[in-house]
Amino acid sequence: MRVGIVSTNEVQKSLIIELLQPLVGPMKSYDLTHAKNGELEATNVHFLIVDMSDPALLDCQEVMDMVAENEICLMHEKDLFSMTLEQRVAWRNRTIDLIKTARPDLAEDLLQKKDEADNKHVPDIWIIGSSAGGPQALKEMLTNLPALPISIFIAQHISESAYGQVLLRVKQIAQHWSVVSAADGLQVTPGSIYLIPRDRTIEVRHGVIQLKPYAVQDLSFNPCIDAVIRSVYASHSRIGVMILSGMGLDGAAGIRAIKGKAKMIMAQDHESSGAKGMPDSARATGAVNLSATPVELARELTKLYA
Domain match, 215 and 108 both: no
For 201-242, how does the pLDDT look when each residue is reduced to its tens digit (9 = 90+)? 899 988 899 998 876 655 667 899 999 999 999 888 899 999
Last residue of a domain, one of 72, 90, 118: 118
Bridge partners, residue 204, by sequence: 209
**Residue 49 and residue 59: Cα distance in Å, rounded?**
17
The enclosing domain of 21 has a CATH number of 3.40.50
Burial pattern 70-107, b for ≥16 Cβ within 10 A else e, equals eebbbebeeebeeeeeeebeebbeebbeebbeeeeebe
> Residue 184: how many CB atoms within 10 A of its CB?
11
Q: Which one of 250, 272, 280, 281 is the catalytic residue?
A: 250
What average pLDDT does range 13-32 have in this prediction? 89
What's the structural domain count of the chain?
2
What average pLDDT does range 75-96 have in this prediction? 87
pLDDT value of residue 23: 83
Q: Which one of 53, 130, 131, 235 is the catalytic residue?
A: 131
Q: Which residues contact 203 (CB under 8 A, 6 or more apart)?
A: 209, 210, 212, 231, 232, 234, 235, 236
Between 196 and 100, residue with greater pLDDT: 196
**Residue 187 and residue 215: Cα distance in Å, rounded?**
24
Domain match, 136 and 87 both: no
User: Where do the H-state alpha helices sit in the chain?
Assistant: 10-24, 32-36, 55-58, 61-69, 85-102, 107-118, 134-142, 163-173, 225-235, 252-257, 277-284, 294-305
Does residue 131 carry a catalytic annotation? yes
Does residue 51 carry a catalytic annotation? no
pLDDT value of residue 219: 62
The answer on pLDDT for 289 being more than 90 is yes
To 10 degrees, what angle do helices 107-118 and 85-102 make?
160
Domain match, 138 and 250 both: yes
For 133-148, how does the pLDDT look when each residue is reduced to its tens digit (9 = 90+)? 999 999 999 999 999 9
Domain match, 80 and 144 both: no
For 43-58, how does the pLDDT look when each residue is reduced to its tens digit (9 = 90+)? 888 888 888 889 998 8
The enclosing domain of 147 has a CATH number of 3.40.50.180
Domain match, 110 and 204 both: no
Q: Which residues contact 289 (CB under 8 A, 6 or more apart)?
A: 264, 265, 266
Between 102 and 10, residue with greater pLDDT: 10
**Residue 288 and residue 262: Cα distance in Å, rounded?**
10
Is residue 231 a contact partner of residue 257, using CB atoms and an 8 Å limit? Answer: no
pLDDT value of residue 93: 86
With cut-offs at 50, 70 and 90, classify the pLDDT of residue 98: confident
The answer on pLDDT for 111 being more than 80 is no
pLDDT value of residue 267: 98
Q: Which one of 54, 157, 231, 245 is the catalytic residue?
A: 157
Between 101 and 268, residue with greater pLDDT: 268
- Taken as a whole, the chain contains a residue count of 306
pLDDT value of residue 216: 61
With cut-offs at 50, 70 and 90, classify the pLDDT of residue 180: very high
C-alpha closest to that of 127 among 226, 248, 247: 226
Between 153 and 50, residue with greater pLDDT: 153
Domain span at residue 75 reads 3-118
Q: Is the pTM of this model over 0.85?
A: no
With cut-offs at 50, 70 and 90, classify the pLDDT of residue 259: very high
For 58-82, how does the pLDDT look when each residue is reduced to its tens digit (9 = 90+)? 899 988 888 777 767 778 788 899 9
pLDDT value of residue 113: 72
Domain match, 256 and 160 both: yes
pLDDT value of residue 71: 66
The answer on pLDDT for 290 being more than 60 is yes
Average pLDDT, the chain: 90
Last residue of a domain, one of 82, 103, 118: 118
Amino acid at 250: D
Q: How far from 158 is each of 117, 132, 154, 231, CA to CA, in Å?
A: 34, 9, 11, 20
